[in-house]
Amino acid sequence: ILIPSYNADCTRLMADLASQCAAHAATHPDFSYEILVGDDASSRQDLTALNRQTAESLGVRYLLMDENQGQSRLRNVLARASKGTHLLFIDSDAQVCTPDFIARYAADAPRADVICGALRNPQPPFAENCTLRYRYEKKAEGQRPAAYRNRHPYERFTAFNAMMVRSVWEQIHFEERCRHYGYEDALMGLQMQRLGISILHTDNPLIHLGIDSNASFLHKTETALQTLLTLGPPMTLHAGASRVAGKLARWHVLGLMARIFSLCRGMMRRHLLGHHPSLTVFNLYRVGYYASLLRQTKKH
């Protein structure tokens, strides 16, 4: 079990996973496991100390990076340091919410090369300044049942809660150009599709606790779009904002879109940082921001 972490309190996650693993191993003698947490040079020394102390008490391997690697590279570091035949990736802002989470993964392991569990939103209420991320996540709930994801297995891959056989990771490492937030999961899904790797989506859930503030989520979105631009094809041929921007370029109106965005950006940001942000405005902001990035690149 591989958990990349940065400025996160992983104590409960480590404890819940260690407890379930030990319980499953007690009744299944052929089941072995290890838990590794990778601390990506966190700036919160209090959390690092707390996590390290908890890891030592639970028999969890705690790897502290000397400098920040970025989540993709850190996942690769953890995979190289591990010994298991199956790699279960879990984000540090996840919470175990079922008593049989590990048992279900162990039972599902032979069914496919990659097993993707489910993401479940936490229950409201949330702070007023978190409404954008919450509305975005609520809108995505319609695409989260396993039945839907199995109809679109590669497009819906995410490493938030996913297990793969080691040979898959050895063929497709996480893209280390993704130093910051965004698109490393989607790119890996495209690579899996190209190689014909089998994916099974299940309803084995973890709760996603990372409901960012509006300002943080908007910053992450901009960072992700900057990452997308550097990745190029095939990722830009599949991501929504880049596909729309590509159409605008073919219609010779990309520059117009970028200029309109420049004029409206401040007003759109104020709306998105407010208490009642619209997802329609958010989607327009994403396209406009990417169009402005693409236009700047074309100028140079």
pLDDT at 22 over 80: yes
182: its two tokens: 């965004």
pLDDT one-digit tens code per residue, 143-173: 899 999 999 999 999 999 999 999 999 999 9
pLDDT band at 299 (very low <50, low <70, confident <90, very high): low
pLDDT one-digit tens code per residue, 72-127: 999 999 999 999 999 999 999 999 999 999 999 999 999 999 999 999 999 887 78
150: Cβ–Cβ under 8 A, 6 or more apart, which residues?
A: 200, 201
Residue 93's SS3 state is coil
Mean pLDDT of all residues in 209-220: 94
Closest CA to 119 of 93, 154, 81: 93
Q: Are strands 114-120 and 36-39 parallel, antiparallel or unpaired?
A: unpaired
Question: What residue spans of 152-253 are helical by DSSP H?
Answer: 166-171, 184-195, 214-231, 240-250
Which amino acid would we find at residue 174?
F
Q: Quick one: pLDDT at residue 230?
A: 92
- What percent of the chain lies above the pLDDT cut of 90? 90
Which amino acid would we find at residue 88?
L
pLDDT at 30 over 80: yes
Nearest 5°: the CA angle 84, 90, 92 is 130
Q: For the CA atoms of the chain, what is the radius of gyration?
A: 20
Mean pLDDT of all residues in 187-209: 96
Which amino acid would we find at residue 166?
R
The residue with tokens 């162990």 is 106
pLDDT band at 128 (very low <50, low <70, confident <90, very high): confident
Question: What residue spans of 117-165 are helical by DSSP H?
Answer: 131-140, 146-151
Cα–Cα distance for residue pair 75/91, rounded to 1 Å: 10
pLDDT band at 187 (very low <50, low <70, confident <90, very high): very high
Q: Quick one: pLDDT at residue 177?
A: 85
- Most confident listed range (66-70, 87-91, 130-134, 244-248): 87-91
pLDDT at 298 over 90: no
